[in-house]
Amino acid sequence: MPKTFMAFSLLALAGMLLPSARAGAQHRSRSSAKPLLLVVNQGDRNLSLIDPATGQQVATVLDGDRAGHAHEVAASPDGRYAYLPIYGNSGVGMPGSNGSTMLVVDIPMHKVVHTVSFGHPVRPHLPIYDPNTGRLYVTTELDKSVTIIDPKTLKIIGSIPTGQEQSHMLVLAHDGRRGYTANVGPGTVSVLDMMARKTIAVIPVSANIQRISISKDDRMVFTADQTKPRLAVIDTAANNIKAWVPLPAVGYGTTTTRDGRWLLVAMPRTSQVAAVDLRTLKVAHTIGVPKGPTEILPSPDGRVAYVACGGAGEVAVIDLSQWKVQSVLKAGKGADGIAWAQ
């Protein structure tokens, strides 16, 4: 075979292989890249991608459509995709538009690449990617349910009834078998069997509640009373309230630290975060943060916690060994939902 023909054939073969090679390289580069902090900015109707190592915003992605904008975000375990349910243009229980879609963002490409339709208005809110089952769960308030999506096909494969209005937030037990929704207006928590796809119990808490989290050992679930400065502690074995934790102010978003020792509570009205000692169920520390904290996310190494402060359009970084703010990151107006892309 002439050398010129052989060279041409090799170049042609390389050309055919390049697209898939580039795609594979891009996927590997995201998986091996540094973690990114994802922040939903409700006021700006976009998603911030922030490098936590430098504190710099890498990019923003628009997250709105005609029905409104996203409130919350989740990332796939490989850090490639972000999921943004379009809730609407109002708050929970308030009049406004009703979203019916979820956007899928390619994080390395910094753009929306897919739209998932729920088929009718449902006010989709919180997404959770469960690594145990490979399922994506999304709270769908107007259907009084949690919708199940296959993230590989982006097809809806089922739902789990909550039996309550305004099932706004969801938390899963660490094995993925139980789920708990905070039903805001009814002031209840629904206990879900995620495998059998049914409601096990509905626990009365208060006239109005917000957000929900679970202890590292799955024995306690926490939700904040919106009528009094106190936190409900639910015994997951008995499915009832075992204790109330008094707070300095009305709480909102909560999360446990990676070591399971502390529960962090955002208190928007006083622009503070409280640290509850889970051994005593008492507040041991309070930390001042920028205006309007709502959601808290511990870093993967557990050394710091990131606090979305919507009133300031910033994210506070709390040093969990010193119990103080070590830095403040710029995000966007109405910074709220927050997640990791690792």
Q: Is position 250 within any domain?
A: yes
Q: Is position 29 within any domain?
A: no
Q: Is position 167 within any domain?
A: yes
Is the pLDDT at 8 greater than 90, yes or no?
Answer: no
Q: Is position 296 within any domain?
A: yes
Q: Is position 18 within any domain?
A: no
Q: Are 58 and 50 in contact (CB under 8 A)?
A: yes
> Mean of the pLDDT values across residues 174-190?
98
Q: What is the mean pLDDT of the chain?
A: 92
Place of tokens 């208190």: 267
Is the pLDDT at 257 greater than 50, yes or no?
Answer: yes
CA angle in degrees (0–180, nearest 5) for 197-200-203 = 130
Within 8 A by CB and 6+ apart from 70, the residues are 40, 42, 47, 63, 64, 84, 85, 86, 87, 103, 337
pLDDT, tens digit, 9 for 90 and up, residues 117-175? 999 999 999 999 999 999 999 999 999 999 999 999 999 999 999 999 999 999 999 99
Distances from the Cα of 40 to the Cα of 124, 193, 210, 271, 331, angstroms: 15, 29, 18, 19, 9
> What percent of the chain clears pLDDT 70, i.e. is strictly above it?
90
CATH of the domain at 74: 2.130.10.10
User: What is the DSSP track for 35-62?
Assistant: PEEEEEETTTTEEEEEETTTTEEEEEEE
Q: Is position 118 within any domain?
A: yes
Q: CB burial class (10 A; 0-12, 13-18, 19+) of residue 138? A: buried
> Mean of the pLDDT values across residues 81-105?
96
pLDDT, tens digit, 9 for 90 and up, residues 211-220? 999 999 999 9
Q: Is position 174 within any domain?
A: yes
Is the pLDDT at 192 greater than 80, yes or no?
Answer: yes
What pLDDT score was predicted for residue 64?
Answer: 75
How many distinct structural domains can be found in the chain? 1
> Mean of the pLDDT values across residues 281-302?
98
> Mean of the pLDDT values across residues 199-203?
98
**Distance (Å, rounded) from C-alpha 228 to C-alpha 233?**
14
Is the pLDDT at 85 greater than 70, yes or no?
Answer: yes
Identify the band that residue 63 occupies on the pLDDT scale cut at 50, 70 and 90.
confident
Closest among 172, 183, 239, 250 to 211, alpha carbons compared: 183
Q: Is position 48 within any domain?
A: yes
For residue 68, give the DSSP letter: B
* pTM as predicted: 0.90
> Mean of the pLDDT values across residues 184-192?
98
Domain coverage including residue 96: 35-341
Is the pLDDT at 204 greater than 90, yes or no?
Answer: yes
**Distance (Å, rounded) from C-alpha 193 to C-alpha 161?**
10
What pLDDT score was predicted for residue 67?
Answer: 82
Per-residue tokens: 228: 């009094």
What pLDDT score was predicted for residue 1?
Answer: 46
> Mean of the pLDDT values across residues 282-309?
98
